[in-house]
Structure 1
């Protein structure tokens, strides 16, 4: 009887530490970027086809693993000519490098709702470590599905030269790219 009780306790404790997966609600999420054009104005774009997940065994997401994949051919800057140029070998080379991926390697909780997410970004066939700032906007329950929700805002900066992304002079297109993502996630 004692063995059964101990075994039951071990199983109960181990079940509470299983990681749970959260999937991106694509209709309530966006991944975008911004560059400075001609040292004058911000030009923004986004990726229309994105998928992301969060895996975490803790409710506060302090042990979370964030993963994202974006389809390069879905780039959209509201200008077809520019979008086609960005997909060409001059920049993203979508035919050769069709996806952008990110996978976190660690998450540091800064305060109750702020995190530093360290991870590997693969862009244009090059993988580099980056750090992103994340804010947990909140959690809740969808009244229609009764599924748990979590919303995150993530921002960061990368250099296009680090990923050999275009040889256009920085006076025309800035080297620094501002990344922005707003994601609503549904607990599976």
Structure 2
């Protein structure tokens, strides 16, 4: 019994030693989107204020969990009047629903460094399941700091989240493309 207990403790200690918990490096991360405007061009934007928490215990990332929280009031498309309109009840209704939140539920390897990530997205007070493409760009030791890189891409319909439902698709497209580039860094233990 004592031998079993020691084995279980060593196993738990090794898992804990590898357990990784990260918050995105804000200087090297972006949470962006683009959407069709008047069917002839795209408008790009981003959320300037957001946090992504990543944790995993397996090197193959099969148990990785991503949790994203973004401040809707930090939306930035480069045009102040448009940003103000996007925060209004016509679109995101930021006064009532000030956060975008995503919690991953599962990650499945598609091939190589490409994964399918599923989870729940809450936007404008509506929560729906979404599937996103996750690319693991690798990791490096950068002057004693272990750094991981990811790219997340996906599409969603703004109408599924009651965002801008009174705005015709001919003016603002219903399909929104998400693109997020993320870096997570932590000092390497010596």
Q: Tell me the TM-score normalised to structure 2 length.
A: 0.93
Distance 1:165 1:80, change over 3 A: same
Cα distance in 2, alignment partners of residues 179 and 131 from structure 1: 11
Structure 2 residue 53 is the aligned partner of structure 1 residue 53: yes
- Structure 2 alignment gaps of length 5 or more: none
Cα distance in 2, alignment partners of residues 60 and 149 from structure 1: 16
1:61-117 deviation per Cα after TM superposition (whole angstroms, max 9, x unaligned): 111011101000000000000000000111001110000000001110112311100
Superposed displacement of residue 141, structure 1: 1.3
Aligned position for 1:81: 81
Aligned position for 2:176: 177
Structure 2 residue 129 is the aligned partner of structure 1 residue 132: no
Q: Tell me the TM-score normalised to structure 1 length.
A: 0.94
1:125-166 deviation per Cα after TM superposition (whole angstroms, max 9, x unaligned): 0000000001001111121xx231110000000000000001
- 3-state DSSP of counterpart to 2:168: coil
5 Å matches for 1:58-73? Answer: 58-73=58-73
Cα distance in 2, alignment partners of residues 149 and 59 from structure 1: 14
- 3-state DSSP of counterpart to 1:7: helix
RMSD (Å), alpha carbons:
1.3
Superposed displacement of residue 15, structure 1: 2.1
Aligned position for 2:15: 17
Cα distance in 1, alignment partners of residues 141 and 9 from structure 2: 28
Q: Is the Cα–Cα contact under 8 Å of residues 23 and 187 in structure 1 kept in the other structure?
A: no
Cα distance in 2, alignment partners of residues 101 and 108 from structure 1: 21
Aligned position for 2:148: 150
Cα distance in 2, alignment partners of residues 176 and 17 from structure 1: 41
Q: Tell which deviates more after alignment, 110-119 or 151-160.
A: 110-119
Q: Tell which deviates more after alignment, 86-95 or 6-15.
A: 6-15
Superposed displacement of residue 23, structure 1: 1.4
Of 163, 166, 171 in structure 2, the residue corresponding to residue 165 of structure 1 is 163
Of 3, 6, 18 in structure 1, the residue corresponding to residue 4 of structure 2 is 6
Aligned position for 1:105: 105
Aligned position for 2:185: 186
